[in-house]
């Protein structure tokens, strides 16, 4: 086994301590010649690209454990090998980060859809928009950015845990923000209502405000569902659904959202979305080859 490769056994307890996991992350970064486990590339105008974190190679089991109350689409639990270390966004891509791409390329959000600002996760973007953002970021930095696969996403989310959530069998108040959702005033147009109330209706919070997992990744459980690069499968034993002629590809999204309940924010939770789907609780997180 490679020295920077970890193994997560099927168990409802941690197999490695947080200190051991961080040490392996540091070891992987050193082996790759990266100065820190979290870093960012620089855009041509001198601004920082989104912060990313090194994830060491390893083996783990993905999908719901037998003791979890979970739908069939999250089963059976299967072993997976992450052959190479990679980097993944420390946060979901924010509106501010995506707007840098929009200004450079002329991309514009649809006027009738809700658009946030600043450090809020970007929403109402398609998977193709996320892929185009990754391609633009690659061209700007000379590095290979992409969307994570479903297995890469879940492996990074678990960060050494085989439990339902990164820190255990339950999600605690410092890891969740279910109380942010409120109803909009149906008698007033969205544009006339405060940004605070509109953000609350989405069930989103500013990225990086809640407890991270052991690898320093924020907002893996909750905030917004995140597109992956993986096509949808009915369960973990099925082949990917083939797109029908003239119909968009169904893809896997991970992470849940504060618009949903805690059961949808488990590490194993997955949802079928269409590649061209737009939603107020749907965004993405980047990955990068290292």
**Domain range summary for the chain, segments of one domain joined by +:** 6-238+249-289
Residues 6+ apart with CB under 8 A from 160: 6, 8, 14, 15, 16, 18, 20, 21, 214, 215
Task: Give me the residue label for tokens 């200004």.
Answer: 103
Q: How many CB atoms lie within 10 A of CB 183?
A: 8
Mean pLDDT over the full length of the chain = 89
Q: Which two tokens stand for residue 68?
A: 């979890």
- Local confidence band at 133 (pLDDT 50, 70, 90 cut-offs): very high
Q: Per-residue pLDDT for 194 more than 80?
A: no
pLDDT at 247: 84
Report which of residues 179 and 74 the model is more confident about. 74
Distance of CA 13 to the CA centre of its chain: 23
The three state secondary structure string of the chain is CCCCCEECCCCCCCCCCHHHHHHHHHHHHHHCCCCCCEECCECCCCCECCCEEEECCEEEEECCCCCCCCCHHHCCCEEEEECCCEEEECCCCEHHHHHHHHHHHCCCCCCCCCCCCCCCECCCCCHHHHHHHHHHHHHHHCCCEECCCHHHHHHHHHCCCCCCECCECCCCHHHCCHHHCCCCCCCCCHHHCCHHHHHHHHCCCCCCCCCCCCCCCCCCCCCCEEEEEEECCCCCCCCCCCCCCCCCCEEEEECCCCCCCHHHHCCCCEEEEECCCCCCCEEECCEEEC
pLDDT at 193: 43
Domain 6-238+249-289 in CATH 3.90.1580.10:
yes
Q: Per-residue pLDDT for 84 more than 90?
A: yes
Global confidence as pTM: 0.90
Q: Please classify residue 38 by burial: count the beta carbons closer than 10 Å to its beta carbon, then call 0-12 exposed, 13-18 middle and 19+ buried.
A: middle
pLDDT at 201: 58
What gap in Å lies between CA 253 and CA 240, rounded to an integer?
A: 14
Q: Which two tokens stand for residue 33?
A: 């010649």
Residues 6+ apart with CB under 8 A from 11: 162
Contact 164, 62 (CB under 8 A): no
pLDDT at 16: 80
pLDDT at 203: 81
Give residue-wise pLDDT tens across range 1-38.
344 466 654 443 346 889 999 999 999 999 999 999 99
- Local confidence band at 119 (pLDDT 50, 70, 90 cut-offs): very high
Task: Give me the residue label for tokens 């942010």.
Answer: 180
């Amino acid at each position: 086994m490679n020295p920077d490769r970890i193994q997560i056994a099927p168990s409802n307890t941690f197999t490695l301590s947080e200190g051991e996991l961080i040490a392996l992350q540091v070891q992987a970064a050193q082996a790759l010649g990266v100065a820190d486990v979290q870093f960012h590339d620089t855009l041509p105008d001198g601004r920082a690209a989104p912060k990313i974190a090194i994830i060491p190679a390893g083996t783990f089991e993905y999908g719901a454990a037998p003791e979890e109350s979970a739908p069939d689409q999250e089963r059976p639990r299967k072993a997976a090998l992450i052959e190479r270390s990679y980097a993944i966004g420390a946060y979901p891509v924010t509106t501010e980060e995506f707007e840098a791409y929009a200004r450079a390329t002329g991309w514009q959000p649809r006027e009738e859809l809700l658009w946030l600002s600043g450090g809020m996760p970007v929403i109402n973007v398609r998977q193709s928009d996320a892929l185009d953002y990754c391609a633009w970021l690659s061209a700007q930095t000379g590095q290979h950015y992409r969307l994570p696969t479903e297995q890469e996403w879940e492996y990074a989310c678990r960060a050494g845990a085989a439990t339902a959530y990164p820190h255990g069998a339950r999600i605690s108040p410092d890891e969740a923000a279910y109380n942010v959702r409120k109803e909009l005033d149906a008698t007033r147009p969205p544009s006339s209502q405060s940004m605070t109330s509109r953000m609350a209706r989405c069930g989103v919070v500013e990225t990086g405000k809640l407890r991270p997992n052991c690898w320093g990744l924020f907002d893996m459980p909750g905030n917004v569902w995140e597109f992956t690069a993986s096509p949808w499968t009915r369960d973990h034993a099925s082949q990917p659904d083939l797109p029908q002629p003239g119909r968009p590809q169904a893809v896997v999204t991970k992470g849940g959202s504060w618009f949903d309940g805690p059961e949808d924010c488990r590490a194993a939770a997955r949802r079928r979305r269409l590649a061209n789907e737009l939603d107020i609780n749907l965004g993405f997180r980047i990955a990068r080859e290292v």
